[in-house]
Amino acid sequence: MAGAAVGAPDYDCIVIGGGHNGLVCAAYLARSGRSVLVLEAANQVGGAAVTREFAPGFKVSACAHLLHLMPGSMIRDLGLDSRGLQMAATGMPTTAIAPDQSPLPINPDNPAVLAGRSGADAAAFPAYHARLRRLAEALHPVLDRVPPRLGTDSWQARLSWLRIGWRIRRLGRRDMRELLRIGGMCVQDLLDEHFETPLLKGALGFDAVLGTRAGPRSPGSVFPLLYRMAAEVQGGSALAQPVGGLGALSDALARAVLAAGGAIRTATVVRRILVQNDRAAGVVLESGEQISAANVISNADPKTTFLQLLGVEYLDTGFVRRIAHLRAHGVTAKLHLALNRLPQFTGLPHSALIGRLLLAPSLDYIERAFNHAKYREFSSQPIIEITVPTASDASLAPAGGHVLSAVVQYAPYELAAGWQHERARFADLIIDALERCAPGLRASVESAELLTPPDIERQFRISGGHWHHAELALDQFFIVRPVPGASQYRTPLGGLYLCGAGCHPGGGVMGIAGRNAARALIREAA
């Protein structure tokens, strides 16, 4: 047994980690009347949703750079608008780019722009999108709930299953059959059924594989696409960029925690979770300080929580094996460029620069990029999601300067040649790929920062540097996420809960895992 907490605990709840999910969880718990303390290792709150200076005067949303998944109800509930959250850009357009082709706006509401490439695709796009959106809408209530438990006859579990079944039943015969047919399919097969334009298929396939260790031919790759769309249904589906970057969202969440009576300590690393009488009883900090609590909620990823902070001695071997085998090696890197002028992408209007650009010219291109990751190599021609946040928010760079923020795949965590030897070559190769679409870009680069998955692991304390804290796939989803025995936010140890991206419904700046975890704890205490 670790150190003992005697008498009344210092807090009702300690949240380990002030990532956005930890903050959301803390805000809801504090609003329920509980005393709450958030302990964040970094100097600032937000985890992978922060704004940092990466070159003198140049700031960027390190890791997450687009906001589109957080439910409007949560933003309203927590009063984030009145706590400093403002948008620099909303409804940001998506444009597919390629070195040898003119840019293609991807907009199902305006398929006419596609007609010049393919009349058939222009005709098919709205119906394809509408159907996927209907399927996603049926899935969306699944995201927002604590997953029901298997093997229990409780009315809550029965009601949950009934609700899910009813939403799917309401789809009607044709859509229900389509959901069953495509749910486990690879996204290449789905897109080949509907479209012929490689640039369009590449852009649509990109969203299916973003953040995951999968290519468009990987079985089950339709699932993350539907899942992302289901989350977007709650978030209003519009890509947005807060003024001041994603860190502004996290700062607003922190203010919501404080306004509800919670407390936050940054630069405070938790070393161990305290256990007393077979329950979580508080934490021990790196400094040696002990803080007791009736409940401990971890925003850290599942491997960190169980294998480092708790310790295997408190868990049965089957559970430890499941956590150890959880697939959580990231493949996503981030490149930040400080530029001395606005980048000029060939043929791209300025209005498109305010949105996101996707460099993934075809499904074959993506699959080839993914092939490297299977052999622990980085892609020689990576796929890239590009934003230029300064196109809509001048506060992020000195006068005349601009920032380019690029999410890049595939960059495997466990690079065979070792990242310390290869990082400069990879950064160079990404800039080359960008230069082919935006001639002159390289000459305008003042400074560059590359975050590889091991950098993300180290700087953001995420095992494997994984976008979702653990791969989001059919075998690590919903009632088996992160693993059986911890999929309702409760863990095998009484008083210990999870609230981060490693739980249902996964990563992305959504806040739902945090809100669901708070609900699970409040419900259990009732």
Ligand X SMILES: Cc1cc2nc3c(=O)[nH]c(=O)nc-3n(C[C@H](O)[C@H](O)[C@H](O)COP(=O)(O)OP(=O)(O)OC[C@H]3O[C@@H](n4cnc5c(N)ncnc54)[C@H](O)[C@@H]3O)c2cc1C
Does the protein bind ligand X through residue 407 (CB under 6 A)?
A: yes
Determine which helix (DSSP H) or strand (DSSP E) holds 334, and give its type and residue range.
strand 332-339
By beta carbon distance, the residue nearest ligand X is: 19
* Token code pair at residue 122: 């222009």
Contact region with ligand X (CB under 6 A), list: 138-146, 194-202, 457-465, 515-523:
457-465
Task: Give how many residues touch ligand X by CB under 6 A.
Answer: 39
Could you say which DSSP state residue 305 is in? I
Q: Is 384 in the site for ligand X (CB under 6 A)?
A: no
Q: Which residue type occupies 325?
A: H
User: Which of 61/197 has CB closer to ligand X?
Assistant: 61
Nearer to ligand X by C-beta: 221 or 332? 332
Separation of alpha carbons 209 and 281, rounded Å: 40
Binds ligand X by CB under 6 A, chosen from 299, 392, 487, 516? 299
Compose the 149-188 pattern: x for residues touching ligand X by CB under 6 A, - for all others: ----------------------------------------
- Contact between 105 and 349 (Cβ < 8 Å): no
Q: Answer yes or no whether residue 63 interacts with ligand X by CB under 6 A.
A: yes
What's at 95, amino acid-wise?
T
Pick the stretch among 5-13, 39-47, 182-190, 199-207 that binds ligand X (CB under 6 A): 39-47
Residue of the chain from 5, 27, 64, 273 that contacts ligand X (CB under 6 A) = 64
At how many degrees (to 10) do helices 363-374 and 198-209 cross?
Answer: 40
Query: Residue 65 interacts with ligand X (CB under 6 A)?
Result: yes
25/122 with CB nearer ligand X: 25
User: In the set 94, 218, 221, 304, which binds ligand X (CB under 6 A)?
Assistant: 304
C-beta closer to ligand X: residue 111 or 282: 282
User: Is the distance from CB of 345 to CB of 103 less than 8 angstroms?
Assistant: yes
Q: How far is the CB of 296 from ligand X (least distance, A)?
A: 11
Which secondary-structure segment (H or E) carries 296? strand 290-298
463 counts as binding ligand X under rule CB under 6 A: no
Nearest-angstrom CA–CA distance, 288 and 465: 27
Dist CA 371 CA 487 (whole Å)? 32
Helix/strand/coil for 55: strand
Of 2, 5, 17, 148, the one binding ligand X (CB under 6 A) is 17
19 is an interface residue for ligand X by CB under 6 A? yes
- Among the listed residues 205, 233, 232, 197, the one whose alpha carbon sits nearest the alpha carbon of residue 221: 205
> Contacting ligand X (CB under 6 A), which of 2, 13, 22, 338?
22
The helix/strand/coil state of 384 is strand
29 binds ligand X (CB under 6 A): no
- CA-to-CA separations, 340 to 189, 221, 429, 441, in angstroms, rounded: 43, 39, 20, 10
473 scored as a contact of ligand X (CB under 6 A):
no
Binding mask 68-97 for ligand X (x = CB under 6 A): -x----------------------------
| 504 φ, ψ (degrees, to nearest 5) | -60, 135
Angle value at C-alpha 511, between 153 and 14, nearest 5 degrees: 80
**405 close to 61: Cβ distance less than 8 angstroms:** yes
Site for ligand X in 495-514 (CB under 6 A): 500-501, 507-509
Q: Quickly count: other Cβ atoms within 10 Å of residue 174's Cβ.
A: 9
**DSSP codes of every residue in 196-261:** --HHHHHHHHHHHHTTSS--TTSTTTHHHHHHHHHHHHHHTT--BEETT-HHHHHHHHHHHHHHTT
Binding piece for ligand X, criterion CB under 6 A, among 45-53, 73-81, 144-152, 272-280? 45-53
Q: Nearest distance from residue 203's CB to ligand X, in Å?
A: 16
CA 279 to CA 232: how far, in whole Å?
Answer: 37
CB 487 within 8 A of CB 480: yes
Residues 212-271 that bind ligand X (CB under 6 A): 269-270
Q: Which is nearer to ligand X, 198 or 224 (CB)?
A: 224
- Both tokens of residue 477? 């989803």
> Is 426 one of the binding residues for ligand X (CB under 6 A)?
no
Nearer to ligand X by Cβ, of 118 and 459: the residue is: 459
Q: Which residues bind ligand X (CB under 6 A)?
A: 16-22, 39-42, 47-49, 63-66, 69, 269-270, 299-300, 304, 309, 332, 334, 407, 456, 460-462, 467-468, 500-501, 507-509
